[in-house]
Amino acid sequence: ECLRDFDQRAVILQIKTGEGKSIVIAMLAIFIVKLHGKRVHVLENNAGLLARDHRTNAPFYAKMGLRSGTDLNDESLHICYCLKADINKRFLRQMICGKLDEELGQTVLIVDEVDDLIVNERPNAHYVQKDHSRTPMVIKAYAALKNGQPQPDDVSEDFWERAVRTAQYCDTKLVSGKDYRQIEDDEGNARIIRLDDEGKVPKVKLTAPWLQWLNYKECGIEPSDETRYAVVCTPYIFNKYMGIFGLTGSVGGKAELKYLARTYHALKFDVPRFLDTCTGDARKITMNRGVEVVDCEASLISRVVAIANHNYERVPVLVIASSLDQLSKLHRALSTRGTMPADEVQRLSEYDETGRSLKDQWETIIDDATKRLGGVDDNRCRVTVTDRFGGRGHDFQVVDRESNANGGMLVVATSVPDEREWIQWKGRTARQDRPGQFHVILDQSVPPLSESKNKKILAKLKAPSAVAGSTSTRSKASDALTDDAKIEMLLDLSDDGIGDRLKQFEGEQATGEKLNELTEKYYKMHPRAYEDEEWPCAKYLESDIKLRRFLGVHADASPAEIRNAAKSEFGIELE
């Protein structure tokens, strides 16, 4: 209420990694429930952090007489830990039932890392559902294609041509590991999922017509014809909350801060480090052990293996790969070419190479990552290989005195992401009053260093670094850069990409907000049960068919076009 008096909907608190963000979130949640009588949703960045943070804080909530959990559909909870996909699905359900505003208007959102507020992924989720009127024909068409048979007599020319085009597109255009991958769900069933533009598993499931064909062909899942029935735009949904508190290691650059202010009317506040408020010099500095550029991926892998071989007897080593594919290559190389025992090279990722979830192993892998092994003659630590999943949020506690005396956990990064992600990666080491160190190895044959526009940057990165310890990040004796200055240059390069991406998504977000508003108002007029409801619904058959067509035709339309069409076709006034 105080925020709204000042026309603000959100407060972003920048708290450095390792400063106790999880307990701050817990105390804030209790404050909101106890003093203001509102429900709280705690939005976590990934499933591992969700399970860990709720398990840690649940006894605290219980002692305060509050019910907590991880099921958004449990309306008895005062505090619910959830993921972005959970929120989208929950409020899709509420929207279909015509009850969206009733819940969100009395709930406060606490966001653990503002990545979920900033459009890292596409802002709109176009939800599809099995279309009962079209599915029988799709099943027959795909069965004929899979079995090498001609067009069935009872499949229309239009459906057959579409099925053939889809199969050809999958065979000629899509690449496993880049556009899609096969995973194993919690029940042990194999299925194909679509990856995002960077080849990563998205937080909110992405849909595409070709998924039906691939899942049928590769996993034997019966196909269906899925048509659009709703749109959920993440910023539109989040802005319906009563208020938003975001806690983050780093907001990022100017582009992200501008986006947060414009989209959520957010204020930013920098929280000082706890140890900076104390006397003495307990806080340790993270040491930069070097920024190197190599000519190809094979050289990069060899260099990472050499660094791990040199350091694993002294400190725990955490290697953060640039992709899932590179993670697998590094894990194999370290296991076969490393001088450490092969079974002491760990893989920390959402899925193993076969697509099986590693969720039940995450906690053990993280705990083991920092433990010292062996005796006097063979003293050593483990090497853990991960990707962006393991580079943020997970708490690697280095309590071993020898490791800390040798500089603390060594993070080896094979890319430099945007500033928000980089702060997280560095934050896996030098936590609280413990030392830490990192080493960066980059491949010049892949973007952004392979791009012609970055030739000058590449040359500066490859030049010998200035002597560390000068008062400036740039050497006074020459134009050579220190390793810290090279990191700053790489962060600037990545942050430029963030600004470009936010501009690219601006139009999509504006369109999504209008389609989301239309969907919400449509289902208020035509509510129905979420479960086991045929689409199109028999009760609203004519208008549902009209909505199905509208969402397909206007998926890329301008807000003005959507506003005019909504009024003329449905009599719905959009803001």
Instruction: Read off the pLDDT of residues 1-33 as tens digits, 9 standing for 90 and up.
Output: 555 554 567 889 888 777 788 899 999 999 999
Residue with tokens 């991926």: 297
* Cα 427 from Cα 166, distance rounded (Å): 44
pLDDT digit string (tens) for 269-290?
888 776 666 666 555 678 999 9
For residue 78, count CB atoms less than 10 angstroms from its CB and return exposed for 0-12, middle for 13-18, buried for 19 or more: buried
What integer pLDDT is reported at residue 435 of this predicted model? 87
Q: Does residue 555 surpass a pLDDT of 80?
A: yes
- Confidence label for 177 from pLDDT (cuts 50, 70 and 90): confident
Q: Residue 269: what pLDDT?
A: 86
**CA-to-CA dists, residue 218 to 144, 170, 352, 353, 429, angstroms:** 15, 12, 19, 17, 41
Calpha distance 475→551 (Å, rounded) = 58
Q: Which residue has the tokens 């960045």?
A: 45
Which pLDDT score, from 0 to 100, does residue 393 have? 72
Least confident of 102-116, 213-227, 235-249: 102-116
Amino acid 377: pLDDT: 86
pLDDT band at 388 (very low <50, low <70, confident <90, very high): confident
Terminal Cα distance for the chain, rounded: 23
**Mean per-residue pLDDT, 529-557:** 90
Please give the pLDDT value at position 485: 93
Encoding tokens for residue 470? 């000068």
Mean pLDDT of the region 496-510: 82
Residue 474 has pLDDT above 50, yes or no: no
pLDDT over 60 at 471, yes or no? no
Q: What percent of the chain has pLDDT over 70?
A: 93
Span 536-561, average pLDDT: 94
Q: Is the pLDDT of residue 209 over 90?
A: no
Q: What is the mean pLDDT of residues 302-328?
A: 95
47-62 per-position pLDDT tens digit: 888 988 999 999 999 9
| Token pair recorded at residue 156 | 């229309």
Question: For the chain, which domains are there?
Answer: 2-121+234-270 (3.40.50.300), 135-224 (no CATH), 280-492 (3.40.50.300)
Section 88-117 average pLDDT: 83
Are 292 and 440 contacting, i.e. CB atoms less than 8 angstroms apart? yes
